Structure 1
Amino acid sequence: MSRYARQIALSEFGAAAQDRLGSAHILVVGAGGLAAPVLQYLVGAGVGRITLMDGDRVSLSNLHRQTLFRMTDIGLPKAEIAATHMAALNPDCTIFPVLEPLDPLNAPDQVGEVDLVLDCADSFAASYILSDICSTLNVPLISASIVGTSGYCGGFCGHAPSLRAVFPDLPDRLGSCDADGVLGPAVGVMGALQAQMALAVLAGIEPDPLGQLVTFEAIGNRFGGFRFDGAPEPEDGFGFMAAAQIAPDDWVVDLRAAQEAGPALPNAHRLGVADFDHPHTRPQTGRAVLACRSGLRSWQAACRLRRHWGGEIALIALGDVQKETAR
């Protein structure tokens, strides 16, 4: 136990907490910048099993913030390479790499097998998918996001309100690392906060981080936050589904531009968000299924459709064309 002697020595921790870590199984979604400190600290702390999901590959533009990777890793699957590096850090921890992105089809089985989920994907669609499933299965969720110099980290679900209770609506525009940039150390701060919250939940350290949101602004090094233990769950929200779950009688709309890259969506109507301001833009029968790349335009169109139609609405975040995961 000399590996863990310094944390066992803490009065708030002890041998019983270490045993809980060793028997824990967690799911980490995303193997990028947030996951770099998450994996290093939790693997170092002695978490027993980690399932790591990511369908992407390492690229040169990742390296300033995704500090698990080296130049020699460029072009290789992130989850696989991260698992290899972490096995060298602590052979006590077993890491199962899953070389595919999280989606509404594979998420329930993955979440159902673990004690805690860490959302490191920095994708709002993935965050809502995970929150909905974790809330249903009563699994704690530690979710973080950062764009530019601003971010948050929170403990959701389990016995706490879901992410939807804190973020029931989306902004008109979602930032992205590609479009808005991001500072590597700021990503590291948020990932370290995720690791600390996860450690506290797994080891039973008080105060409980579930029901707490921490905000961070890198310029000026400003922290903030609040507790949301009593936040009510929204009565109405839009859930995500996979393209493979489309039914024959669904009214499917592709909100992407005709030249926009991404997976094909056969037999879908091609409309824009503004088209849903008109009452006649609605399904005649069946469910409305609204699809775009990230899910943001689908959400915006759903809000407009809801104003004049009360039927079932589901969203699809199609993402980008998936790269081959074989070497």
Structure 2
Amino acid sequence: MADGVRYARQAMVTGVEGEVRLRAAHVLIVGAGGLGVPALQYLVGAGVGRITLIDPDVVEETNLHRQPIYGRHIGAPKAQAAAAEMAILNPSVVVESVVASLDPSNAGLVAGADVVLDCADSFAASYTLSDACLAAGVPLISASVLEMAGYVGGFCGGAPSLRAVFPDLPDSGATCATAGVLGPMVGLLGAAQAQMALAVLLGLDPSPMGQMLRFDGLRPSSFRFDTAPEATGHRFIARTDLRDTDLIVELRGEDEAPVPVAPAALRQPATVTPGPGQRTVFACRSGLRAWRAADALAARWSGDIVLLAAGESA
């Protein structure tokens, strides 16, 4: 199919210069799930030149109600399955798949992107992406959905970061796997991420950066946060960043992680007493328990504290 035909309706809006911008663009999408699938489909459909897609998971049958492109790929890595489907949708777009979790060890991927989409169902990935995008000056379109509510916003790249709007983690560590979600809601917000990404790439005015859109069921609201002050907070590290001199506290129980994140890790967070100048590392599955433990220690100790989202097992 000739590009002139494929993009004819789109080009009526974007113009020739806009189409050139889209073909030259590189987008990083973190997460190939309920948000990432619709975002990916619309960006590939729009002819974005290159997309890097990173996700550690494999396709499960429980994904299909909100990730319908995977019907033929049960058991396959999502990133690879999505890339295969997108090659059929639009062969002119290069989709590079990375089967891995996003953490500080590979967050350097943001530096090569024109815009980053946070479609990960992970506190740790979202804050890690925000920190990396803020440092690199790269726009971040981040979204989150649970049950029938969620948000999408434009952070970094000249706008305040995710930490500026969400300086603290929520009280609950619920995820789609534990709280459930309706497919159309993630589809709606994933499509909104794609629209905001296109607005960034095309340089549309007003910019989506510094804009938050929220949905509570079908009740939308929005606000701008252009002047939100940056917040300091606990930083995440990768396993490869652990040091021999760290005081490492494993917050996962032995039933959850029979082997701790490091051989010298302690399992008694209440008795933690760091030595002078010693860095303390709190490790848990998602980062939520580690964040709370870090808050508790920071209230009585002013040293260096970092977090590690270690997943289900060591």
TM-score, reference length from structure 1: 0.92
Aligned pairs (5 A) from 1:45-194: 45-70=46-71, 72-108=72-108, 110-194=109-193
1:202 aligned partner: 201
1:224 is aligned to 2:221:
yes
1:293 is aligned to 2:282:
no
Q: C-alpha separation between the residues in 1 aligned to 2:258 and 2:237?
A: 17
Amino acid at match of 1:181: G
State the Cα distance separating 1:263 from its structure 2 match. Answer: 6.7
Aligned-partner SS, 1:68: helix
1:284 is aligned to 2:281:
no
1:240 is aligned to 2:236:
yes
Amino acid at match of 2:5: S
State the Cα distance separating 1:177 from its structure 2 match. Answer: 1.1
1:252 is aligned to 2:248:
yes
Q: C-alpha separation between the residues in 2 aligned to 1:36 and 1:66?
A: 6
Aligned-partner SS, 1:224: strand
Q: C-alpha separation between the residues in 2 aligned to 1:105 and 1:262?
A: 24
State the Cα distance separating 1:261 from its structure 2 match. Answer: 3.9
CA offset digits 1:112-148 (Å, max 9, x no partner): 1111110111211100000000000000000000011
Whether the 8 Å CA contact 1:262–1:320 is kept in 2: the answer is no
Whether the 8 Å CA contact 2:290–2:307 is kept in 1: the answer is yes
State the Cα distance separating 1:242 from its structure 2 match. Answer: 0.9
Whether the 8 Å CA contact 1:57–1:78 is kept in 2: the answer is yes
Q: C-alpha separation between the residues in 2 aligned to 1:199 and 1:261?
A: 42
State the Cα distance separating 1:282 from its structure 2 match. Answer: 2.5
Q: C-alpha separation between the residues in 1 aligned to 2:88 and 2:258?
A: 36
Aligned-partner SS, 1:205: coil
Return 5+ residue gaps in structure 1 as ranges: 323-327
CA offset digits 1:209-267 (Å, max 9, x no partner): 0000110122xx10012100010001x31000012211111100001112114874121
Return 5+ residue gaps in structure 2 as ranges: none
Q: C-alpha separation between the residues in 2 aligned to 1:307 and 1:208?
A: 39
Q: C-alpha separation between the residues in 1 aligned to 2:56 and 2:93?
A: 22
Aligned-partner SS, 1:256: coil
How many residue pairs align between the two structures? Answer: 309
Q: C-alpha separation between the residues in 2 aligned to 1:143 and 1:153?
A: 6
Q: C-alpha separation between the residues in 2 aligned to 1:311 and 1:321?
A: 28
Amino acid at match of 2:133: C
Whether the 8 Å CA contact 2:143–2:189 is kept in 1: the answer is yes
1:262–1:106 CA distance, 2 compared to 1 (3 A): farther
TM-score, reference length from structure 2: 0.96
1:73–1:207 CA distance, 2 compared to 1 (3 A): same
State the Cα distance separating 1:25 from its structure 2 match. Answer: 0.5
**Higher mean displacement: 94-103 or 313-322:** 313-322
1:155–1:233 CA distance, 2 compared to 1 (3 A): same
Percent sequence identity over aligned pairs: 54
Amino acid at match of 1:260: E
Q: C-alpha separation between the residues in 1 aligned to 2:113 and 2:189?
A: 22
1:310 is aligned to 2:302:
yes
Q: C-alpha separation between the residues in 2 aligned to 1:37 and 1:206?
A: 24
Aligned-residue RMSD, C-alpha: 1.3
Q: C-alpha separation between the residues in 2 aligned to 1:205 and 1:244?
A: 40
- The structure 1 segments of at least 4 consecutive aligned residues displaced by more than 2 Å after TM superposition are 261-264
Aligned-partner SS, 1:146: strand
Amino acid at match of 2:37: A
Amino acid at match of 2:66: R
Q: C-alpha separation between the residues in 2 aligned to 1:69 and 1:238?
A: 36
CA offset digits 1:62-81 (Å, max 9, x no partner): 111112211x3100010001
Whether the 8 Å CA contact 1:289–1:313 is kept in 2: the answer is yes
Q: C-alpha separation between the residues in 2 aligned to 1:144 and 1:124?
A: 11
Whether the 8 Å CA contact 2:256–2:312 is kept in 1: the answer is no
